[in-house]
Structure 1
Amino acid sequence: MTRPTSRDVATAAGVSQATVSLVLGDKWRGRVSERTAGLVRDAATTLGYRPNLAARNLRLGTTRTALLVVPALTNEFFARVYTGAARIAAEHGFGVVLYPSPDGTGPARDPFASARAALDGVIASSMAADALHAIGGTDLPLVMLDSDPDTGHASAHINLAMADGMRQVTEHLLDLGHRRFLHLASAIDSWTFDVRAKALATHLGPHHTELRTVRAPLSVDGARTAMEAALATPGPDRPTAVICDDDILAAGACKAARRLGLRVPEDLSVTGFDDLALATAVEPELTTVHLPAERIGEQGMTALLAVLEGTPWTAPDLPVNLVVRDSSGPAPTP
């Protein structure tokens, strides 16, 4: 069966091909009557006409495609970011190509012969920033997620209120009587984790507390190994609360506590960040900071669309909130 053309639609609707282009390109208002636009749409539906998007994009010099650069998709958080970005993109006739860095957070090979020819813009997580160096066409519009707004050449930044999230964690644990803390920090060198570390030190500073930092790979086994070493020596100086940069690290911390015969939260409180599905899959369920991952993706795509239209983008940090569950409790009595 021959595929219907715009000329067929024009003939069926009794209008010119130019009118069909205006209506189906959603540029008819003020130039074509509502009745005529309805006739064109009805004719297109009846004939099963679909515009040749590739040809249209070639004429307009646009691909209507955005690249989302994230760490390897072993972390559900970034899958949620993609879901949010793709939802907004679809509403505006855009597609999103997902590009996970194969090595997690390190450099990656260029996926395109010419990024400028294949893409309209890029949305990238700061945790996969190294992968950006492999992508050609560095003059493409760039929206950075969870990154330092004072550095780089990004067209827009979408950030979370990470420092406020850490404030909520520390206030919660301080109210429970904890004064000896261990920060289980991600070994990944990233601005977002630096913000958490600085906020933790700032909010504990005015109180008579002890804070020790241990770094671990962003994996359950890596966190468990680091925590077993950190908690192996019993005594009055052992921390009563572990504040983790991520739910995955928190899960490893809970495993380490159990292997050492420590009860969570009776002997050791543990908190996370992200509020992944993992947070309610472990036992006890994790007290953690909920990060609105889909909202980050939605706002990232919205910002890129604004940039492509030449509109400056500014927005406050997205709010985060502490979800209190069973992994945190009162500090143990000496």
Structure 2
Amino acid sequence: MSPSKTPSTIPEESETGVEGGRRRATINDIARLAGVSKKTVSRVINQSPFVRDETRERIEAVIAEWGYAPDPQARGLAFRRSFLIGMIYDNPNPQYVVNMQLGLLDGMRGSGFELVVHPCNRASPTFLTDIRAFVERQKLFGVVLPPSVSEDERVAKLLNEIGCAYIRIASVELDKPEHMIVGQDRMGGAQAARHIVELGHKRIAFISGPETFRSSHERRGGFEDGLAEAGLSLSPNDIVQGAYTFESGVACGDELLSRSPRPTAIFCGNDEMAAGVLQSARKAGLSVPQDLTVVGFDDFQIAQAVWPPLTTIHTPTREIGRIAVEKLIGDERREPRDVTKMEPNLVIRQSSGPVPA
């Protein structure tokens, strides 16, 4: 409905007071006159960027015509929640946490929402009660769950029980489409395998992440899929388990490079462990990539800070954070029930090269 065609009076049932002989409009009146939902009017009032320009202009015209101003007390009662979005995480990789926070802040810019973070320990006996207390104490609008918290079905069940909106970020689809952003780590693992095989390597090892992370299994599964395409496979002796940390990468690298015959290529479940393998190779007197190819996963800042710079699988972590906020707050420009899938891609740098002669 166009503002120029709105009624000149507010119906009797919407009266909340009289100012200058004219009934004072409510948010419900503004929504009806503008032909939109109450939620959309609220987004315009709170300067959310997630409203079409033409819709925003129509609502603002109606607000100006009727001199509407929200009542702060009524606003608080209506929402019954703060304008806070929580990030709940248990992740050993600090760069992942930083990149995710930056993405969330990108998505919140101009929306009136703020970010609060809650580090936790999934192994703690108070894990779930701490999350409930955090959500209820802050009266959160909603939460974003990165791995590995996102992979815990108990957390999703808890949030559903207390009526808190949430977005889960994981390597596979674990929930209804509107709750999910899928990273497709298996696809990235296959890309790493194909690259290493194309370079001629056959003695190939893999350093996995923690067993408690779904991404560890997906990255390994994808890597084995890619090797199988070339008729190759990983034996149990080719696989060691790390912890997604630099220190575990050094330890796993020391173990693999002490074997005879040693591998000519190592694929690591993330960049932190790959950087650890570079240090292990230097200790062993090996040159990368002349003697050893090293490939990581994530393409975080460390991938270009080490020497040689890492060949790795790029995952758009910051972009994922931004999209998570859009899905959580509600972006009228996209269908909220769509599955959001992000594609990883191979980035070739100096840490990978042909198999040694």
Q: TM-score, normalised by structure 1?
A: 0.78
* 1:247 is aligned to 2:267: no
Q: Which of 168, 178, 186 is the equivalent residue of 2:209?
A: 186
Structure 2 equivalent of residue 84 of structure 1: 103
Change (3 A) 1:115 1:187: closer
Change (3 A) 1:15 1:319: farther
* 1:219 is aligned to 2:226: no
Q: Which of 307, 317, 325 is the equivalent residue of 2:349?
A: 325
The Cα of 1:94 is off from its aligned counterpart by: 2.5
| Cα distance between partner residues in 2 of 1:277 and 1:330 | 25
What code does the residue aligned with 2:108 have? A
The Cα of 1:226 is off from its aligned counterpart by: 1.9
What code does the residue aligned with 1:67 have? G
Change (3 A) 1:137 1:145: closer
* 1:284 is aligned to 2:308: yes
What code does the residue aligned with 2:181 have? I
Change (3 A) 1:132 1:97: farther
Write the mapping of 1:1-334 to structure 2, written as runs, cut at 5 A: 18=25, 22=30, 25=42, 26=44, 34=61, 37=64, 56-72=75-91, 74-101=93-120, 103=121, 106-107=123-124, 108=127, 110=130, 113=133, 115-116=135-136, 118-129=139-150, 137-139=159-161, 140-149=164-173, 151=174, 156-209=179-232, 211=234, 212-233=238-259, 235=260, 237-306=261-330, 312-333=336-357
Change (3 A) 1:170 1:71: same
SS at match of 1:264: coil
| Cα distance between partner residues in 2 of 1:114 and 1:163 | 33
What code does the residue aligned with 2:239 have? T
Output one character per residue of 1:196-248: Cα deviation in whole Å (capped at 9) or x when no partner. Answer: 11111111013243531111122212221122122113x4x321100001000
What code does the residue aligned with 1:124 have? L
The Cα of 1:174 is off from its aligned counterpart by: 1.2
Q: What percentage of aligned pairs have identical amino acids?
A: 26
The Cα of 1:116 is off from its aligned counterpart by: 4.7
| Cα distance between partner residues in 2 of 1:66 and 1:279 | 30
SS at match of 2:296: strand
The Cα of 1:141 is off from its aligned counterpart by: 2.6
Q: TM-score, normalised by structure 2?
A: 0.73
Change (3 A) 1:30 1:16: farther
Contact 1:179 1:208 in 2 (8 A): no
SS at match of 2:297: strand
The Cα of 1:97 is off from its aligned counterpart by: 1.8
| Cα distance between partner residues in 1 of 2:92 and 2:191 | 28
The Cα of 1:35 is off from its aligned counterpart by: 8.3
| Cα distance between partner residues in 2 of 1:328 and 1:33 | 56
Change (3 A) 1:134 1:196: closer
| Cα distance between partner residues in 2 of 1:159 and 1:134 | 18
Number of equivalences: 308
What code does the residue aligned with 2:217 have? D
| Cα distance between partner residues in 2 of 1:329 and 1:312 | 43
The Cα of 1:281 is off from its aligned counterpart by: 1.0
Change (3 A) 1:137 1:242: closer
Where does structure 2 lack aligned partners over 5 or more consecutive residues?
Answer: 1-17, 32-40, 46-54
What code does the residue aligned with 2:135 have? A
| Cα distance between partner residues in 1 of 2:218 and 2:85 | 28
What code does the residue aligned with 2:25 have? A
What code does the residue aligned with 1:282 have? V
Output one character per residue of 1:149-187: Cα deviation in whole Å (capped at 9) or x when no partner. Answer: 2x4678511011322212221121111111111001112
| Cα distance between partner residues in 2 of 1:321 and 1:66 | 30
Where does structure 1 lack aligned partners over 5 or more consecutive residues?
Answer: 1-9, 45-50
Contact 1:141 1:154 in 2 (8 A): no
| Cα distance between partner residues in 2 of 1:264 and 1:195 | 27
Output one character per residue of 1:63-91: Cα deviation in whole Å (capped at 9) or x when no partner. Answer: 33322112257521222212222332344
| Cα distance between partner residues in 1 of 2:94 and 2:325 | 20
Change (3 A) 1:147 1:36: closer
